[in-house]
Amino acid sequence: MGMDYSAIKDWILREDSFDPEKLGKCEAVMSLGNGYLGLRSAAEERYLNETRGLFVAGTFNKFDENEVTELPNAADMTAIKLSVNGEIFSLTEGAMEDYARELNIRTGELKRSVIWTSPKGTKIKAVFYRIVSLKRLHVIAQRVELTPLDADVKIEIKSGINGKMTNTGSQHFSDGDKRFYDKRVIQFVQTTGQSKIDFVDTTVHKLALDGEVLPMEAEVYIERREIFAGYNVEVKAGQTLSIEKYSTVYTTRDLDAEGKTAADLQKLALETARELEALGYQALLEESARQWEEEVWNLAPIEIEGCEMDEFAVHFAQYHLRLMVPAHDARMNIGAKGLSGEGYRGHTFWDTEIFLLPYYIFTDPKTARKLEEYRYLSLPGAHAKAAHNHYKGAMFPWESAWLDDGEVTPEYMDVDILTGKPNKVWSGFIEQHITSDVAFGVWQYSVITGDEDYMEKYGYELIMDTAIFWASRLEKGTSDDNKYHINDVVGPDEYREHVNDNAFTNYMAHWNMQKAMEYYHLLKKEKPEIFARLNEKLNLEEAYPQWENGCANLYLPVPTKENILPQDDRYLSCRDIDLGKYKAQEHVGGITRDYNLEQINQIQVSKQADVLVLFFLLEDIFPQEVKKASWEYYEKRTLHDSSLSLSTHSVLACDMGEMEMAYDLFRKAAAIDLGPFMGSSNAGIHAASFGGVWECVVYGFGGVRMLGGRLRINPSLPEKWTKLSYTIIWKGQKLAVEVTKDEVHVTNLTGTKKVEIEVNGEARIL
Q: Which residues contact 83 (CB under 8 A, 6 or more apart)?
A: 89, 155, 156
Q: What character string, x for contact with ligand BGC (CB under 6 A) and - otherwise, covers 624-643?
A: ------------------x-
- Nearest-angstrom CA–CA distance, 660 and 647: 14
- Nearest-angstrom CA–CA distance, 179 and 651: 55
- Nearest-angstrom CA–CA distance, 332 and 17: 37
Q: Which of 132, 334 has the CB closer to ligand BGC?
A: 334
Parallel, antiparallel, or unpaired for β 710-713 and 756-759? parallel
- Shortest Å, Cβ 565 to ligand BGC: 19
* Burial letters 708-744, b for 16+ CB under 10 A, else e: eeebbbebbbbeebeebbbbbbbeebbbebebeeeeb
Q: Which of 373, 494 has the CB closer to ligand BGC?
A: 494
- Nearest-angstrom CA–CA distance, 160 and 141: 13
Residue type, 66: N
Q: Which residues contact 478 (CB under 8 A, 6 or more apart)?
A: none
Task: Kindly tell me which residue out of 494, 497, 658, 695 binds ligand BGC, with binding defined by CB under 6 A.
Answer: 494
DSSP H helices, 325-456, are 351, 357-363, 365-377, 379-388, 427-430, 434-449, 452-454
Q: Which of 242, 647 has the CB closer to ligand BGC?
A: 647
**Known catalytic residue: 234?**
no
Q: What character string, x for contact with ligand BGC (CB under 6 A) and - otherwise, covers 592-611?
A: ---------------xx---
Q: Which of 464, 685 has the CB closer to ligand BGC?
A: 685
Phi/psi of residue 707, each to 5°? -120, 120
Q: Which of 434, 468 has the CB closer to ligand BGC?
A: 434
- Shortest Å, Cβ 42 to ligand BGC: 23
Q: Which residues contact 549 (CB under 8 A, 6 or more apart)?
A: 471
Task: Kindly tell me which residue out of 644, 671, 711, 746 binds ligand BGC, with binding defined by CB under 6 A.
Answer: 644
Q: Which of 350, 469 has the CB closer to ligand BGC?
A: 350
Q: Which of residues 651-710 bind ligand BGC (CB under 6 A)?
A: 688
Sign of the torsion formed by the C-alpha atoms of 262, 168, 356 and 610: positive
Q: What character string, x for contact with ligand BGC (CB under 6 A) and - otherwise, covers 343-372?
A: -x----xxx---------------------
- How far does Cα 545 stand from its chain's mean position? 39
Residues 195 and 402 sit within 8 Å (Cβ to Cβ) = yes
- Shortest Å, Cβ 88 to ligand BGC: 39
**Strand, coil or helix: 137:** coil
Q: Which of 243, 688 has the CB closer to ligand BGC?
A: 688
- Shortest Å, Cβ 113 to ligand BGC: 35
DSSP H helices, 152-302, are 262-279, 281-292
- Shortest Å, Cβ 409 to ligand BGC: 10
Q: Work out the angle between the directed axes of helices 460-473 and 528-538 (0-180°, nearest 10).
A: 40
- Nearest-angstrom CA–CA distance, 383 and 404: 10
- Shortest Å, Cβ 351 to ligand BGC: 5
| Annotated catalytic residue, options 372, 494, 497, 635 | 494
- Nearest-angstrom CA–CA distance, 659 and 726: 20
Site size for ligand BGC (CB under 6 A)? 12
Residues 488 and 498 sit within 8 Å (Cβ to Cβ) = yes
- Shortest Å, Cβ 607 to ligand BGC: 6
Q: Which residues contact 728 (CB under 8 A, 6 or more apart)?
A: 362, 363, 698, 704, 734, 735, 737
Q: Which of residues 259-318 bind ligand BGC (CB under 6 A)?
A: none
Position 591 contacts ligand BGC (CB under 6 A): no
Q: Which of 461, 494 has the CB closer to ligand BGC?
A: 494
Strand-pair partners of 200: 189, 250
- Shortest Å, Cβ 688 to ligand BGC: 5
Task: Kindly tell me which residue out of 204, 241, 336, 455 binds ligand BGC, with binding defined by CB under 6 A.
Answer: 336
- Shortest Å, Cβ 488 to ligand BGC: 18
Alpha carbons within 13 angstroms on the beta-carbon side of residue 363 total 25
Q: Which of 284, 336 has the CB closer to ligand BGC?
A: 336
Query: How many Cβ atoms from other residues are within 10 Å of residue 564's Cβ?
Result: 18
Residues that bind ligand BGC (CB under 6 A): 336, 344, 349-351, 492, 494, 607-608, 642, 644, 688
Catalytic residues: 494
